[in-house]
A and B are shown apart, each in its own frame.
Chain A
Amino acid sequence: MKLYHVVALVAGLVLASLLPLILPKYYTFIFAVTMCFAIYALGYSIILGRTGLLSFGHALYLGVAAYTVAFLMRPEMGAFRIFSMELLLIIAIGTSALVGLGVGAICIRYTRIFFGLINLGFVMLWHSLLLKLYYVTGGTDGLPIYIPSLFGVTFSHEIFRTFIFYYYVLGIFAITTYIMWRIYNSPLGLALKAIRENSVRAEFVGIPIGRYRLAAYVISAIYAGIGGALWAPLNGHVSPDVSTWLTSGDVVLMNILGGMYTFTGPIVGAFIFYNLKVQIMHFTTYWSFILGISAIIFVLLFPGGVMGWVSKVMPKLVKKSYRQKA
């Protein structure tokens, strides 16, 4: 990590921790939610931006984690009800990792469109299960999510949503971001890039592409899980439509918008995407129109995404690697 990275990081953290004091309550809440999606998007970028696999079903892991949390909080759990956020987080990570391992093991045998569509298949299967298993999942109702305790302390719903949980999420966001940074700059990170650039050659220089793709997949699943587990109590409710192929499209858009070949891209993308959504939905119901237009514009004009476009070195690299190899 170079000096300006450190400076930027510290400055960012300080600014972020000041936000709740200056922002109106609602926006503290919004930013907390945004960070959850940022974690989700960052995790997704390792499978899309790094390994070059487009999954159209990662909302599956968001849903798995969110429902895990909801399920553990159900009154039906009786004595086993869990309200400790830390514990919930760990269990949610566990479940999403397990599901990721199982589903991933099947999915990584494919690339390109097939990879995207088999993921789509899984997320839709999960979705229709959520709808059908009414007594476990609450069907279309979904499940309510109660206020968890943070390090054993329970807060009122207002303090929780519009103040304290923001810092909790911020902390986890910082940690997960740092971990991902390490991964990106590790030999594994390079190997994954190599696989993205040329899987055949990667295999011929001795990189077992299958195992590494699976690794990347599971990592992304875990990040999605963390995002989902944090988002659930913020929103206070979870319903089957967290996990559809359409919601899976959102995270792809976040990555493209921000720039999927840059590290900060997905995070920036998540911030732009979600806040744009919140603002636009404020004055028009034609949100998906604007979303669609911007998707097209970005694909055609800024394939590098915001960050790819902003940074000086990247655009070349990005331009190189998004073109279809003849």
Chain B
Amino acid sequence: MATIAQAIRMALHYGEKNLGVTDVFGEDVGPPLGGVFTATQGLETAWNSPLDERGIIGAAMGIAMAGGKPVAEIQFADYIFNTIDLLKLAGNLHWSSYGQYHLPMVVMTPVGAGIHGSIYHSHSFESVASHIPGWKIVAPSNAKDAYGLMIAAIKDPNPVLYLKSKALMRAVGDELIPGEPADKRALDSMINAPVGDRADWQPRWPEGLTDYTIELGKAAVVRAGTDVTVISYSRMLPLCVAAAAEIEAETGIRAEVIDLRTLYPLDMETLEQSVRKTRRVLVVNEDTEVTNFGEHVLRKLIDRCFYHMEAPPTLLAGVDVPGIGLSPLLEDASVPQPAQIKEKILELAKIPA
């Protein structure tokens, strides 16, 4: 049973061995550290870049132009905001070169709160990112998806942004990734770098890793229900699932929880089908609420099924404040908490038809 960090590591290993990944790079991505969350330990193609996010994105674009397949990391999404112009260029070069160039590149970056990261280790990125045309965006909430979405991102010939929740990085899934050993300790001893001197360390990769792919643009109904649709992803997803389970146990109200997994392009079919059924929809994410990606999801649903909605299509998101404070009291008051998620679901469910 891998953590999400291990799942990413294994997918990147599979990618460099089988899918043509040429460079996994970024700040502290190579040895000895292998990434601030260990997601790139032991990889053959991993290397440390200068501390220069613009240089990282630019280099990834150049590598992709010259036939390489880079996976570039921005150490924290909090530090990606000086590269938006470059991300826009990466997203428009295919279009503006009239289809001559395309950029098979992956950019991965940790997002969200939940680790007492204070203002600059807590940023979300989906709202700004989804406004940049030409990028596909994924945001896994469990290890198996983390693997399958990374494989899909690598295979895609277009720029793909891979958002990984900092707080979930050590979360262990409950589904086995095809090919991984079931014993967590065994896996740890094979692919985790030792503490201390690791100059001579070599990972032993599981033999049976596969091409397991989660198609981009496909959401997953992770908990079936009939009374409210709850749409989420990344760190908020398990909180929504837990809230739904509690609510069902306590009240019998059955919320359907959908894990978007891919934020762009949206799986409108799955969403619409659910909302037409439940006639109530809540989107939950932790980005700040003004011009929030969840508002886009709601608008798309309104375009398709307004007349089926019996309650206001609702967003539960981060409060419109300039940052997440270090004090836990500040953080908790700034991003959705389990109690608020429950409350919102119940509120929507209880609105009379």
A and B bind: no
Chain B residues with a Cβ under 8 A of chain A:
none
A→B interface (CB under 8 Å): none
